[in-house]
Structure 1
Amino acid sequence: MKQIFKNAFRGAALAGSIVGLGAAQLMAQDDARFSLELNNAAQTDAGGCRLTYVATNQSDLGLNQTAYQVGVFDAGGVVRRILVLEFGALTAGKTRIVLFDLADQPCTDISRIIVNTVAECTLADGQASDFCLTGLATSSRTDIQFGL
């Protein structure tokens, strides 16, 4: 009976250790993030929309080049454009503000923007990486939805 109790206790301790390791790995993954925030959308004098993005590399990975292919939806939910937004290089812990002008596209006619795919994600050492998608977190401070 004592042996059964000891084995059950060891099994529970081992399971607890595995869960603890999994939680630590998840916390480490949460720390390794790349965030894109649609911070502002302002009408231009020419009738277009100027999108202001805040890109933050919250990881310890240096990024030599980052670019995303996005789809822009009009107020009716129809895809109006597919374009590439280039965010450039972001060293570890770096935040960068990037402006994009959409000519002939009023801000009021944009309902949402989605990240369709990663156009480029190159680490500081020149190697391609999937971090720009697997570590990506999106948000919007505007009326325009922005996400995956």
Structure 2
Amino acid sequence: MNQIRMVAGAIITSLTFATAAVAQDTEAVSIELNTVKPGEGSCTLTFLVTNWHGRTIEKAVYETVLFDVEGQVDRLTLFDFGTLPPDRPRVRQFTVSGLACDGLGKVLINGAHTCEASELNDNACETGLILRSRTKIEVIG
């Protein structure tokens, strides 16, 4: 059983590094839902975000749709990821009040509401957007 866990861990680690390598060769933003944590009457979503464009994104705000476990829209909100330096991962947390983590079924990154990147084109926050989840909650876009 331990050998299976070790092999599975090695495969997951290899896939993670392979995905990062692909991202580095692509000018894109990568957003990963890393964890969700329940609070009193809220759910905190933690994202790992990386700007692979090679130039700073001064402000990235994404229109985000949260779906319940039955596939119905719970709410539409804006997540402000702030400044994204090039090629450096950043962690961003968003606490959503009135949301139970176990009731969250899917997250849709609906598009960039704001993308300020003076040295990049206007759609830098959306072109080639890479979405992942390390949770049971699917992230789509």
What TM-score do you get using the length of structure 1 for normalisation?
A: 0.75
Mapped pair 1:103 → 2:97: yes
Q: 1:29 to 1:42 in 2, by over 3 A?
A: closer
Aligned partner (choices 33, 39, 42) of residue 38 of structure 1: 33
Q: CA deviation at 1:34?
A: 0.9
The corresponding residue for 2:131 is 138
After superposing on structure 2, the runs of 4+ consecutive aligned residues of structure 1 that deviate more than 3 Å are 27-30
Please state whether the residue corresponding to 2:31 is helix, strand or coil. strand
| Contact 2:37–2:101 (8 Å) recurs in 1 | yes
Counterpart position of 1:123:
117
Matched residue, 1:56? 50
How far the C-alpha of 1:99 sits from its partner, in A, is: 0.6
Whether contact under 8 Å (1:122, 1:128) holds in the other structure is no
In the alignment, the residues of structure 2 paired with residue 136 and residue 115 of structure 1 have an alpha-carbon distance, to the nearest angstrom, of: 9
Number of the residue aligned with 2:5: none
> 2:71 & 2:99 partners in 1: Cα distance?
14
How far the C-alpha of 1:31 sits from its partner, in A, is: 2.3
Q: Is this contact kept in 1: 2:23–2:30, CA < 8 A?
A: no
Considering only CA atoms, is the larger Rg found in Structure 1 or Structure 2? 1
Aligned to 1:93: 87
Q: Which structure dedicates a bigger proportion of its chain to helix?
A: 1
- Consecutive unaligned residues of structure 2, counting only runs of 5 or more, are 1-21
Q: 1:93 to 1:42 in 2, by over 3 A?
A: same
Q: For 1:101 and 1:29, how far apart are their aligned partners in 2?
A: 29
1:71 matched to 2:65? The reply is: yes
C-alpha deviation, 1:51, in angstroms: 0.2
- The alignment partner of 1:108 has SS state of helix
The alignment's C-alpha RMSD in Å is 1.9
- CA spacing shift, 1:73–1:91, aligned 2, 3 Å: same
The residue aligned with 1:22 is none
Between the aligned residues of both structures, percent identity stands at: 29
Aligned pair count reads 120
Q: Which residue is 1:84 aligned to? A: 78
Q: Is the 8 A contact 2:65 2:109 kept in 1?
A: yes
